[in-house]
Amino acid sequence: GPGFKNPTDEEQYLNLSTNYLFKGTSYTFNLDDYYDDTDLTKTYTGAKFQTEDFNGTSLEWSGTVLNDTVTPVNNTETQYGDPSNINMIEGTTDSMDNMKINDASYTTFTSTHTDPYFYESPTQWEDFIFTEGAGNTDGELETDNDANYAIIDTGFALVDESLLGIIIPTSDILTEWDVDAGPPHWSRLDEGPGAPDGLRIAESVMGKYDSWNFDSLTIPAGRVGTKMVVYGYTLSPPGDTPILVTTNIAGVTGLWSTSPPQWRSFTDTGLDFDQADLDAFTMTVEKSIATGLAIIDAVYVEVWTSLNQYSVDYTITWNVADPDLDSIESFYYDYRTTVPVDTDLDIYNWDTTEWLELESNIGTGWYSGLYALTDPYISGSDEIKIRFQSATFPMDFDMELDQIVLEWVSSLPPADLEMEITFPFARYNEDLLAMNVQSWQRTNKSQTITFKIWNYDTESYTQISSSSDTSFTKKEYNTTSPADFISPTGTVKLYWVGTDL
């Protein structure tokens, strides 16, 4: 390029010299590359300019010599890292290429097939049909871990309704019926079934009340009050003056007519009262019409109870709807009840339409097992049906389901591919200006592959691409901060992952 030399008397036309550059004048020149003698692989571009003041009268250079230096820098130089360390997290390396040129030679990585079994549990509670009981709490039914189980409430039925005994008045609450006699009134009414003793209470004015407490009976354990028959010996000369009877037990109310003189009763069923309700039983009477005289000679109540029986009875029907289903292999189960009640687990035979018993147990422990499924127990639409039934029990209990799941095999076994490749660079500590990462890649079937580069500054991966390509496609990443992606020892780490192929 241009240079400078000392002026001489002969150089009178300096503006014609190619050795000088003058301020305000435009010049075109090229900077040549030069090489580092200690390392001929390094190519640099640089320049050094010297400036001095020139005296146009004396034709002499004068003033301070100033140097302006352009710092040499590496030219655009491509360095290729060698894949010195391939870390196969999942999968294998089947063929190797130097990975430097996009040509017909390439490296093949093959995914590793994982567990071919899949699992399908019923939907809660859409797949359940309850004859007795109901779903209460959703659970995780795929694994047998005795935790996060589904809870089934029992249903109940009332059976063996029978007469427990009778109750009669024992004390007064209100004594407003005062036509025939003063208090106590209960003692005039307490003779029970049979012929009345002739001691009565009576009232002719509407809106007056008589009310009494009754004695009680002991309701046996496991039974509940379900019916009452309320008797009264009544009369009303001359004509009928109906009496309205109410009690403090919901549903027990009725009318007694009064003509002719005789025992009358009304019955209320479908009741639900317990020992405390019976102990607190009271009755109140009043005239139901304004005219006439109402007379009561005796009162008693029949108490009926039923055995309260709790049980579960339900079916579960579900299927495997995956299009890649190859076969349904096994049915796994794990369940228990919170009381020792006889419980059966059955599976449905679609060919014979009969049930096969898998379990019959009494206890509160977990009952678990598996049943290898064959064609008769799998419907044409890949459905499985099971049934839980328990005997009746005299108290409420829960059934808990820890595992209800089908094990099936896919015609497309799952596979995983995951790897890291480290590329070292010998001259990584130079003044790098930028870095470009390219990968030409493809998969043999449509599958998403995620490609990333490790950032040593943030200590995390930066995603380059996530795509599915069955022909070689360039994936590229450019950065003007290459130092973030190069380790202190001069390596670049790349990462690929593809799962569930």
**Taking the CB of residue 447, how many other CB atoms lie within 10 A of it?**
17
pLDDT in tens, 183-199: 999 999 999 999 999 99
Q: Tokens 């809660």 sit at which residue?
A: 124
The answer to whether domain 85-113+414-499 has CATH 3.40.190 is no
Q: Which three-class secondary structure state does DSSP give residue 417?
A: strand
Fold for domain 162-308? Jelly Rolls (2.60.120)
- CA 356 to CA 369: how far, in whole Å? 15
* Interval 9-37: pLDDT, tens: 444 444 444 455 566 666 565 555 554 55
- The domains of the chain are located at 14-74, 85-113+414-499, 118-154+312-410, 162-308
Tell me, yes or no, if the two domains 85-113+414-499 and 162-308 fold the same way: yes
Owner of token pair 């090229």: 30
pLDDT tens for each residue of 93-141: 887 777 777 888 888 888 887 677 899 999 999 999 999 999 999 999 9
Both tokens of 421, joined, read: 């490749």
What does the pLDDT read at residue 501?
47
User: 413: burial class by Cβ within 10 Å (0-12, 13-18, 19+)?
Assistant: middle
Q: Per residue in 331-389, pLDDT tens?
A: 999 999 999 999 999 999 999 999 999 999 999 999 999 999 999 999 999 999 999 99
Burial of 145 (0-12, 13-18, 19+ CB in 10 A): exposed
Q: Which is more confident, 260 or 434?
A: 260
Reading the block at residue 216, the tokens are 């009680």
> 222-245 in b/e burial notation, b at 16+ Cβ within 10 A?
ebbbbbbbbbbbbbbeeeebbbbb
Q: Per CATH, is 118-154+312-410 categorized as 3.40.190.10?
A: no
For residues 59 and 281, the model is more confident at 281
3 state DSSP class of 205 = coil
pLDDT of residue 58: 63
Q: Could you read off the pLDDT of 243-292 as tens digits, one per residue? A: 999 999 999 999 999 999 999 999 999 999 999 999 999 999 999 999 99
Question: Residue 378 has which token pair?
Answer: 């799998």
Residue 16 phi/psi, 5° resolution?
-95, -5
